[in-house]
Amino acid sequence: MSNLRARMLDLLKVQCKLFSTTYNPDGIRAGNKILRQRLRGPALAAYYPRKAPGINELQKEFANLELLVEDLAADDRLEHITALKARGKSAPKKKKGPTADKKR
Amino acid sequence: MSMFRAKKFDLGCFANVKTIRDHSKRKAFEAAEPERQALRYMVRNTTLPQRTRAVAQLQLTQMHCYTRPTQIRNRCILGGKGRGVLRDFKMTRFNFRMQALQGNIPGVKKASW
């Protein structure tokens, strides 16, 4: 009978080696089930959609490839401001230096 | 816990402080997961000396709470709500209904029988 058990254990050992599992015939709690678990972090961290790159990032990214990315909204705005300036209707310049004390 | 928050805002969905916090927790957990698993292994391993296991248990409990997976909660990506969120669509039931009726969710249509 003991011969049979030894043979079974040998078989188990070979099996473990083949399928690269841990040989643990006595069922000792060695915590291997923790090592077998897959990491859940990447899947959990990918839950919320990440921010897509904006025009500024694209401009920076393509600048070293000497490619121009046109920001149409910004161009429109600048054009509008230059038109206002030409008519003398633009915003006043920012004051420099400390502001004068207000009278109460 | 501002040290876990991304230095540059990186959420592409609805964001309020709760979703940002949850996102930070997810990233903190991802970063700390190997360490946590190593400690968990040491705690469960009965072949290690008792003292080592106790120290590992202590270290595990003393890790920051943001690195714990139980702190993570699925929130709605359209409204940030934390309850009634359908896991498959990452949306609350009401947002899911609205999006589905508008036909924004592929493969979902209203059934009636």
pLDDT exceeds cutoff 90 at A52: no
pLDDT exceeds cutoff 70 at A104: no
Which of A37-65 are b and which e, b meaning 16 or more Cβ less than 10 Å from the residue's Cβ?
Answer: eeeebeebbebbeeeeeeeeeebeeeeee
Interchain proximity A49–B77, CB inside 8 Å? yes
**A25 band by pLDDT with thresholds 50, 70 and 90:** confident
Local structure of B106: helix, strand or coil: coil
Percent of chain B with pLDDT over 90: 91
Give A32→chain B minimum CA distance, Å: 7
Q: Across residues A24-50, what is the average pLDDT?
A: 92
Residue B51 and residue B67 in one domain: yes
For residue A34, list chain B residues with Cβ-Cβ distance below 8 A: 37, 40-41, 44
Q: Best mutation site among A28, A39, A44 for testing chain B: the one with the most B CBs within 10 Å?
A: A44
Q: At B19, which CATH number?
A: 1.10.287.1480
Nearest neighbour of B77 by CB, restricted to A33, A34, A48:
A48
Residue B63 and residue B87 in one domain: no
pLDDT exceeds cutoff 80 at A64: yes
Interchain proximity A37–B19, CB inside 8 Å? no
ipTM for the predicted complex comes to 0.87
Tell me which of A97 and B109 has the higher pLDDT: B109
How many domains does one find in chain B? Answer: 2
**B48 band by pLDDT with thresholds 50, 70 and 90:** very high
pLDDT at A69: 79
Residue B31 and residue B52 in one domain: yes
B56: containing domain: 13-72
pLDDT exceeds cutoff 90 at A43: yes
Q: Best mutation site among B4, B8, B13 for testing chain A: the one with the most A CBs within 10 Å?
A: B13
B89 inside domain:
yes
For residue A51, list chain B residues with Cβ-Cβ distance below 8 A: 9-12
